[in-house]
Amino acid sequence: MRPILLSGHERALTQVKYSRDGDIIFSVSKDHVICAWFSINGERLGTYHGHQGALWTVDVDPSTTLLASGGADNTIRLWEVKTGRLLKTWDFPTAIKRVEFSPDGRRLLGVTEKRMGYLGTIVVFDIILEVDADQTNEPSLRIECTESKATVAGFSYVGKYIIAGHEDGTVSQYDAKTAEQYLNLTVHEPDIPITDLQWSADRTYFITASKDKTAKLVSAVDLEVLKTYVTDTPLNSAAITPVKDFVILGGGQAAMDVTTTSARQGKFEARFYHKIFEEEIGRVRGHFGPLNYVAVHPEGTGYCSGGEDGYVRVHHFDKAYFDFLYEVEREQAKI
Amino acid sequence: MSKVAGRTDWAEEEDEDIGIPPPQITKNKDGTETIVTYHIREDGKKVKTTRRIKKTVIKQVVNPRVAERKQWAKFGNEKGKAAGPQTDTTSVAENIVFRPMANWKASADDKSEHEKKKAAVKDAKIKCRICSGDHWTTKCPFKDTMAPEGADTPADLGLDDAEPAGGLGAGGSSYVPPHLRKGGAGSGERMGGKYERDDLATLRVTNVSEFAEEGDLRDMFSRFGHVTRVFLAKDRETQRAKGFAFVSFADRADAAKACEKMDGYGFGHLILRVEFARKST
């Protein structure tokens, strides 16, 4: 497996995302620029300019026409994927930590930071999936997180619930239409923030990553913890692979702690765990800083990771990855 | 001559026109291409780049949506750039072997354990005979002020010729045979010594270059058969070879063959002399 190294960013990567067809990778970093890359050969399609601050998050709608991004300049911006044209800017009092389109692309969710007397909120905008449409100015839904601010959020299957991960290690389930909170459960260690939340292909369950060094597979219906993956390093990201029953975890010693810890070796790797047996099956090294985000190709043929070192590494899995089976799985396949 | 008129610096003009030869593309027999390009670096030096590439066409059937997007014009910082990955933003990293395996953790632990042991052995090799520190005796900071461990004679008595090996043991006035003296056990001119060794298949190699290593000798002699032991006498102070060595074979026939072939063999700048070791007295 020869990874493709994308070095278009000048500062630490914060998020990388595949388009629905997996052909384009969008990456955002703290250098204010969004990049679009073809996943097949690493060719850069273009860059999106306009943000005035570090970018924290990016998402693309399922038809790959609109791109949403949010960052430390307190705006969510909507872009035309094809040309890099800025279509719409929504202003907020605080930074945007996460944006995500609903599965049908008609709604856009944004998570705002808690700061300067403002509570952390989750806002939802109705989106018209056309480039030249006049997008709404006001959010259709607003959830205030009074207890603990949300760090990550996303839409469950058919956009029924909004699931949010919080700074205090809890996960909440809201109704995506009425904003009513149904559940709030402590999934991770109390008071240790959840750093990532990514969905399975059908969005009935998701994986959360936390600084408490674990990742958990959680059901979207009742927030029941299905599986737990224990590692030896704080995690920044976790993703579920389609085709094979694996999960990929990324993390590493926080950049600010690297110089004060001796055991830095071997922490900046993507860790592969078996999704069902909760057992580590391998690691992929390469980054020389913590991994800030891992994203999996929607067809399960590869993955890419964005690191604190400013590089995106795009991996296409080889045969050994697809051939690997546990003894019991092989037995099962024979029957 | 409109080109010249537009440019005042004739030297620069020449540089661009003649200084950079056009790129050459040569097709090789094995299907690869050699591309030679020239460019001028920022510091004014001309750089020649030779790349040998192999082109493989991989056809892939994709969704029409994906195919259409592949044809999109580039924009932003990439605007106007040629199709295909640009070398400044995209590169291929070194190959990574990724083989998923059950109980990966256990196997990884085993490996690190093994490496730890190896490292421990490596560390143990270096031990100062003066202060027992982990450096060579010659590098010891106390070598002028302290005597080697176990040697009673202080270094400043003027007994320069009395090497640590030759120094009397702690026993006192009674005579101690050389091979029982302290310090003689580590290394030195021990020929058989107190160990009863089967010397029938041992060769004595003399006139060895002082830069020789035991590994070199082992490589040379293992061509003739299984070598059980290689001993290269080294000077204690300089760690250089003293010029002779012993090589033991498992089989006497191999030893005989090696003796015949290697006697007179040129190694380094000297000619080796190889003979069967005489039983030490």
Query: CA-CA distances (angstroms) from residue A290 to A232, A234, A312?
Result: 13, 9, 12
On the question of pLDDT at B189 being above 80, the answer is no
Cβ neighbourhood burial of B61 (10 Å; 0-12, 13-18, 19+): exposed
pLDDT in tens, A292-333: 999 999 999 999 999 998 999 999 999 989 999 988 888 888
Q: Per mean pLDDT, which of A116-120, A274-278, B92-96 is the most reliable? A: A274-278
Average pLDDT of the segment spanning B4-29? 64
**What distance in Å separates the CA atoms of residue A32 and residue A10, rounded to the nearest whole number?**
9
Place of tokens 């010693």: A253
- Interface touch A321/B100, C-beta < 8 Å: yes
Task: Identify the structural domains of chain B with CATH numbers, from first to last.
Answer: 2-56 (no CATH), 121-170+178-184 (no CATH), 199-276 (3.30.70.330)
A142-158 core/surface letters (b: 16 or more CB in 10 A; e: else): ebbbeebbbbbbbbbee
Tell me whether B57 touches chain A (CB under 8 Å): no
Average pLDDT of the segment spanning B7-17? 55
**What distance in Å separates the CA atoms of residue A230 and residue A246, rounded to the nearest whole number?**
14
What's the first-to-final CA gap in chain B, in angstroms?
97
Please give the pLDDT value at position B174: 74
Please give the pLDDT value at position B3: 47
Question: Is B107 in a helix, a strand, or coil?
Answer: helix
Average pLDDT of the segment spanning A83-111? 93
Query: CA-CA distances (angstroms) from residue B195 to B122, B190, B249?
Result: 25, 10, 17
Greater pLDDT, A241 or A260: A241
User: CB under 8 Å to A291, separation ≥6 — which residues?
Assistant: A236, A237, A250, A251, A252, A268, A269, A270, A305, A306, A307, A308
**What distance in Å separates the CA atoms of residue A239 and residue A318, rounded to the nearest whole number?**
19
| Residue of B55, B57, B78 best to disrupt the A interface, most CBs of A under 10 A | B78
Other beta carbons less than 10 A from residue B58's beta carbon? 5
Give the model's confidence band at B164: pLDDT under 50 very low, under 70 low, under 90 confident, else very high: very low
Residues of A in contact with B76 (CB under 8 A): 33, 46-49, 84
Which alpha helices (DSSP H) does A112-251 contain, by range?
none
On the question of pLDDT at B4 being above 60, the answer is no
Q: What is the DSSP letter of B16?
A: I
Q: Per mean pLDDT, which of A148-162, B11-25, B202-216, B251-265 is the most reliable? A: A148-162
Greater pLDDT, A1 or B120: A1
Residues of B in contact with A286 (CB under 8 A): 93, 96
Asked if the A4-334 domain carries CATH number 2.40.400.10, the reply is no
Please give the pLDDT value at position B51: 84
Question: Is B23 in a helix, a strand, or coil?
Answer: coil
User: CB under 8 Å to A57, separation ≥6 — which residues?
Assistant: A14, A15, A28, A69, A70, A71, A96, A97, A98, A99
Average pLDDT of the segment spanning A36-44? 92
The strand ranges marked E within A12-116 are 13-18, 24-29, 34-38, 44-48, 55-60, 66-71, 75-80, 86-91, 96-101, 107-112
Residues of A in contact with B89 (CB under 8 A): 6-8, 42, 44
For residue B168, the distance in angstroms to the closest alpha carbon of chain A comes to 47
Please give the pLDDT value at position B117: 65
Give the model's confidence band at B150: pLDDT under 50 very low, under 70 low, under 90 confident, else very high: low
Give the model's confidence band at B278: pLDDT under 50 very low, under 70 low, under 90 confident, else very high: confident
Least confident of A20-24, A85-89, B35-39: B35-39
Average pLDDT of the segment spanning B65-70? 88
Place of tokens 């015949």: B260
